[in-house]
Amino acid sequence: MVTVRAPATSANLGSGFDVFGAALDRPADVIRVEKADRTTIDVRGYGSEFIPEDPADNTVGAVAEALDAPAHIRIDKGIRPSSGLGSSGASAAAAALALNELYDRGLSRKELVPIAGKGEATVSGEVHLDNVAPALLGGFTVATGRDVTTVDADIPLVACLPEIAISTRDARDVVPAGATMEQLVYTVGRAATLTTGMCRNDPRLVGKGMHDRLVTPARADLISGYDEVREAALAAGATGVTVSGAGPGVLAACYPGDRREIAAAMVEGFAEVGVDSRAYQTKIGGGATLHRD
Ligand X SMILES: N[C@@H](CCO)C(=O)O
Ligand Y SMILES: Nc1ncnc2c1ncn2[C@@H]1O[C@H](COP(=O)(O)OP(=O)(O)OP(=O)(O)O)[C@@H](O)[C@H]1O
Task: Consult the annotation and say whether 90 binds a ligand.
Answer: yes
Q: Between residues 3 and 122, which has the closer beta carbon with respect to ligand X? A: 122
Answer whether 81's CB lies under 8 Å from 49's CB. Answer: no
Q: Which of 120, 187, 195, 228 is catalytic?
A: 120
Instruction: Identify whether 111 is a catalytic site residue.
Output: no
Instruction: Identify whether 65 is a catalytic site residue.
Output: no
Which partner in ligand X, ligand Y, none is near 130 (CB below 5 to 8 A by kind)? Answer: ligand X
Segment lying near ligand X (by CB under 6 A), choices 9-17, 62-70, 101-109, 259-267: 9-17
- Tell me how far CA of residue 76 lies from CA of 79, 84, 163, in angstroms: 9, 18, 20
- Tell me how far CA of residue 42 lies from CA of 136, 174, 270, 279, in angstroms: 22, 33, 33, 28
220-223 contacts: CB < 8 A, separation 24 or more? 220/247, 221/174, 222/166, 222/170, 222/171, 222/174, 222/247, 222/248, 223/162, 223/164, 223/166, 223/247, 223/248, 223/250
Which partner in ligand Y, ligand X, none is near 12 (CB below 5 to 8 A by kind)? Answer: ligand X
CB-hemisphere CA count at 13 Å for 68?
2
Rounded distance between C-alpha atoms, residue 16 and residue 212, angstroms: 9
Min dist CB 72 to ligand X, Å, is 27
Min dist CB 137 to ligand Y, Å, is 16
Verify binding: residue 91, ligand Y, rule CB under 6 A: yes
Min dist CB 235 to ligand Y, Å, is 26
The candidate with the shortest Cα–Cα distance to 159, out of 45, 228, 253, is: 253
Query: Helix or strand or coil: residue 66?
Result: helix
**30-89 residues near ligand X, rule: CB under 6 A:** none
Task: Consult the annotation and say whether 15 binds a ligand.
Answer: no
> Out of 2, 6, 7, 12, which residue is the one contacting ligand X (CB under 6 A)?
12
**124-153 residues near ligand X, rule: CB under 6 A:** 124, 128, 130-131
Task: Consult the annotation and say whether 244 binds a ligand.
Answer: no
Residues making up the binding site for ATP = 80-90
Site of interaction with ligand Y (CB under 6 A): 11, 50-52, 58-60, 75, 81-89, 91, 123-124, 131, 167-168, 245-246
